[in-house]
């Protein structure tokens, strides 16, 4: 007994010395993982900046588990649980991207007017922070709440660039990223031609929106056809599931292979068609 206790005591002593040595070194902060950063940016662009990415992942997991458990209980086909779980888990992300795209499209129509109002205030002699704060009452209606928050924060702190960074995170808009870069540079180095720069930016935004609108109208039928072609077979499958015994043929190895092949073909074809017909999205500019 005593001979066996000697090695054990030595091992415990060595582990204690190693822990003491390890505690003397400061561990570097763990970097933010790229997927979590992408989820946070997606939430910001969709208008849910206060929602933590973990909550989004929890919702995806709950919906995926619901599809995994409910579909076999309703249809009696165990194989159908896998595509249902994948669809349930992906639904929040798809809706998030759709909301962000619609939000960007709606705001894009308002930015030229906002830049014009800002240029008018600067041309009238207003200071740059006051001109930005004035957009809370003189800017386009959809953008006023965000600029009202900027105005309240600036009056409280007086930190123009810090509040501009906060507004940039709140709006999460590529157009405002460009505008914020112009305002930040003017604030730091000065410049007498800010009004002309803003008018040039406004004209560019209007021309870009006109060209993008024409292209979207022309390629809209491509996206609609892709969605219809991708959804049609699965709608038929869902209708068949309402009849007892209609899906028993898929509850076999061959049926599972057919469902897996159909899901892969649908997913890849839809992504390819949408990819070919998609317009390049404007990229955000880091602060």
- pTM equals 0.57
Question: Each residue of 73-104: pLDDT tens digit?
Answer: 776 667 677 778 888 888 888 888 888 877 77
What residue spans of 24-108 are helical by DSSP H?
34-45, 53-75, 81-108
From 55, 284, 57, select the one nearest 169 (Cα to Cα). Answer: 284
| pLDDT given for residue 29 in this prediction | 46
The domain segmentation of the chain, as residue ranges, is: 31-106, 111-210
Radius of gyration of the chain (CA): 28
- Residue written as tokens 């830049």? 115
| pLDDT given for residue 34 in this prediction | 47
From 101, 137, 131, select the one nearest 195 (Cα to Cα). Answer: 131
Phi-psi region of 21 (alpha: psi -120 to 50; beta: other; left: phi over 0): alpha
Q: Which two tokens stand for residue 135?
A: 């957009």
233 and 266 in contact (C-beta within 8 Å)? yes
Question: Each residue of 120-144: pLDDT tens digit?
Answer: 888 888 888 888 898 988 888 888 8
| pLDDT given for residue 31 in this prediction | 43
82-86-87-88 Cα dihedral, nearest 10 degrees: 100
| pLDDT given for residue 21 in this prediction | 60
| pLDDT given for residue 24 in this prediction | 63
| pLDDT given for residue 222 in this prediction | 74
265-268-274-277 Cα dihedral, nearest 10 degrees: -90
Residue ranges of the chain with per-residue pLDDT less than 70: 1-36, 75-77, 79, 189-192, 244, 246, 277, 281-282, 284-287
- Residue written as tokens 């039928």? 221
């Amino acid at each position: 007994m005593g001979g066996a206790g000697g090695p054990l005591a030595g091992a415990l002593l060595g582990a204690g010395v190693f822990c003491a040595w390890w505690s003397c070194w400061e561990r570097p902060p763990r970097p933010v993982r790229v997927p979590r950063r992408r989820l946070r940016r997606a939430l910001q662009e969709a208008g849910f900046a206060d929602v933590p990415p973990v909550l989004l992942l929890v919702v995806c997991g709950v919906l995926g588990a619901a599809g995994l458990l409910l579909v076999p209980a309703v249809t009696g086909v165990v194989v159908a649980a896998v595509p249902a779980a994948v669809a349930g888990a992906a639904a929040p992300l798809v809706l998030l991207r759709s909301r962000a795209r619609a939000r960007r499209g709606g705001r894009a129509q308002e930015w030229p007017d906002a830049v014009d109002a800002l240029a008018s205030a600067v041309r009238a002699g207003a200071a740059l922070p006051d001109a930005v704060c004035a957009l809370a009452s003189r800017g386009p209606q959809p953008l006023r709440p965000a600029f009202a928050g900027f105005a309240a924060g600036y009056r409280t702190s007086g930190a123009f660039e810090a509040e501009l960074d906060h507004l940039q995170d709140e709006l999460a808009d590529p157009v405002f990223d460009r505008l914020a870069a112009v305002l930040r540079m003017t604030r730091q180095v000065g410049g007498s031609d800010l009004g002309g720069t803003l008018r040039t930016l406004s004209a560019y935004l209007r021309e870009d929106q006109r060209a993008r609108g024409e292209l979207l109208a022309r390629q809209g039928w491509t996206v609609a056809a892709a969605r219809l072609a991708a959804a049609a077979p699965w709608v038929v499958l869902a209708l068949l599931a309402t009849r007892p015994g209609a899906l028993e043929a898929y509850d076999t190895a061959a049926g599972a292979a057919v469902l897996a092949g159909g899901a892969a073909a649908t997913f890849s074809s839809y992504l390819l068609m949408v990819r070919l017909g998609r317009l390049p999205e404007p990229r955000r500019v880091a602060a």
